[in-house]
């Protein structure tokens, strides 16, 4: 089994994959861009992918949502990873040596308070682990990376500062995606996209299909349809499994109240890190 992730060994996506597939043998496929994770699944190179979709401090990962809307991919699982960022430098470096910091834009945003208190130059990278590897390869004491402290061991780096994220309980949520439709028997959550007509009360009527069945909404967000300027779709996640008849009935009624509906999948929502 092959599992595609964005980022290198030691990235948070790598940890998410290890947690979800902990009882199975698999080969990780490191990809530089999120699009490449989706490409590898659609081409058959990978059986599954693990993508970040939401962070507890910075909100949704919009690129992931857009790709879920545009690609023929299904969601079959989720996993949460506690994000504890560290500032990593080369061996012998000190905090006062740092002038330039590299990391993924999301990690940079999650450590904004720490970074603002210093006059460092901040440069976005493709992923946290990759940024740490580049710092290790360059061997410059003036350069550091924001990544998990686990990465320090992989690339023999020095931990210059620990837990530098703005919020102490910073957590990123990942979706497990695949090409084929799978309905895990223990699923308790379902997600979908839909688009409403441009008439008064259209969204209210669409959401009413859930309210009338006492279905709890967990996440609702509008996203622009990139190929249709000024038109929007809605991502919705709610409690209930596609194995349940009332959930299927709700989605069937949602179709009658919408222009289109795309069901992403059904999966078990985790509560622990």
- Categorise residue 265: left if φ over 0, alpha if ψ from -120 to 50, beta otherwise: left
Q: Which residue has the tokens 């919705």?
A: 236
Cα–chain center distance at 239? 19
Torsion of CA 136, 140, 145, 148, to 10 degrees: 40
| Structure-block tokens of residue 95 | 């905090």
* Residues known to be catalytic: 172, 174
């Amino acid at each position: 089994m092959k599992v595609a992730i964005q980022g290198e060994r030691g990235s948070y996506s790598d940890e998410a994959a290890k947690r979800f597939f902990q009882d199975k043998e698999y080969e990780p496929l490191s990809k530089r861009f999120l699009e490449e994770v989706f490409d590898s699944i659609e081409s058959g190179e990978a059986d599954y992918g693990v993508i970040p979709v939401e962070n507890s401090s910075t909100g949704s990962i919009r690129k992931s949502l857009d790709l879920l809307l545009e690609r023929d991919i299904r969601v079959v699982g989720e996993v949460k990873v506690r994000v504890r960022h560290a500032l990593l430098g080369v061996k012998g470096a000190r905090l006062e040596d740092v002038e330039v910091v590299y990391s993924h834009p999301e990690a940079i945003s999650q450590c904004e308070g720490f970074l603002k208190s210093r006059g460092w130059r901040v440069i976005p990278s493709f992923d946290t682990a990759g940024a740490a590897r580049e710092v290790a390869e360059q061997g410059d004491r003036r350069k550091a990376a924001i990544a998990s402290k686990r990465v320090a061991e992989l690339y023999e780096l020095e931990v210059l500062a620990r837990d530098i994220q703005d919020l102490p309980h910073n957590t990123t949520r990942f979706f497990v995606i695949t090409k084929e439709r799978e309905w895990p028997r223990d699923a308790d959550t379902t997600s979908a996209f839909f688009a409403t007509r441009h008439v008064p009360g259209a969204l209210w009527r669409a959401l009413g299909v859930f309210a009338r069945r006492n279905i709890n909404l967990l996440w609702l967000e509008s996203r622009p349809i990139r190929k249709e300027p000024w038109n929007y779709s809605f991502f919705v996640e709610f409690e209930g499994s596609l194995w349940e008849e009332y959930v299927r009935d709700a989605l069937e009624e949602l179709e009658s109240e919408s222009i289109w509906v795309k069901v992403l999948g059904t999966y078990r929502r985790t509560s622990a890190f």
